[in-house]
């Protein structure tokens, strides 16, 4: 939804997910519910008030929330897990290519990049 103009209000997760969320929308509210690096993995009972209060605070600032504003070419890639490899087709309908373990493409926007072939 963020790619189609819907403001990204809140991201609930860990530090890694927060970094990704901020790349998409710098004004997103980040609500931490775990931190494996610091061995903090609270129970659902402990995270409920964090999420509830965090979302309420994020909604108070909804006018400052933005959607993803990408301009230019989208460069995408898909890597395969161990033990798998691509069998590259003779032709494919996008600008890109394959290696044995990765497919990559370029598209003018995210909607086209995510469109099924």
CB neighbourhood size of 100 (10 A):
10
- At residue 117, the pLDDT reads 57
Tokens of 1: 């939804």
pLDDT digit string, tens, across residues 47-104? 999 999 999 999 999 999 988 777 777 888 888 888 898 887 777 777 788 888 888 8
Domain ranges of the chain: 2-64, 74-113
- At residue 2, the pLDDT reads 64
Residue of higher predicted confidence among 39 and 113 = 39
pLDDT at 3 over 70: no
The CA-CA-CA angle for residues 112, 77, 26, to 5°, reads 75
């Amino acid at each position: 939804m963020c790619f189609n103009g819907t403001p990204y209000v809140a991201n609930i997760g860990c530090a890694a997910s927060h970094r990704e969320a901020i790349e998409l929308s710098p004004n997103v509210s980040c609500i931490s519910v775990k931190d494996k690096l610091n061995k903090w993995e609270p129970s659902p009972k402990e995270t409920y008030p964090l999420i509830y209060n965090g979302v309420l605070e994020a909604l108070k600032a909804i006018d400052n929330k933005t959607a993803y504003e990408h301009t230019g070419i989208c460069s995408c890639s898909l890597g395969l897990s161990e033990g798998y490899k691509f069998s590259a087709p003779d032709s494919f309908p996008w600008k890109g290519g394959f290696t044995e373990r990765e497919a990559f493409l370029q598209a003018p926007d995210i909607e086209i990049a995510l469109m099924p072939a």
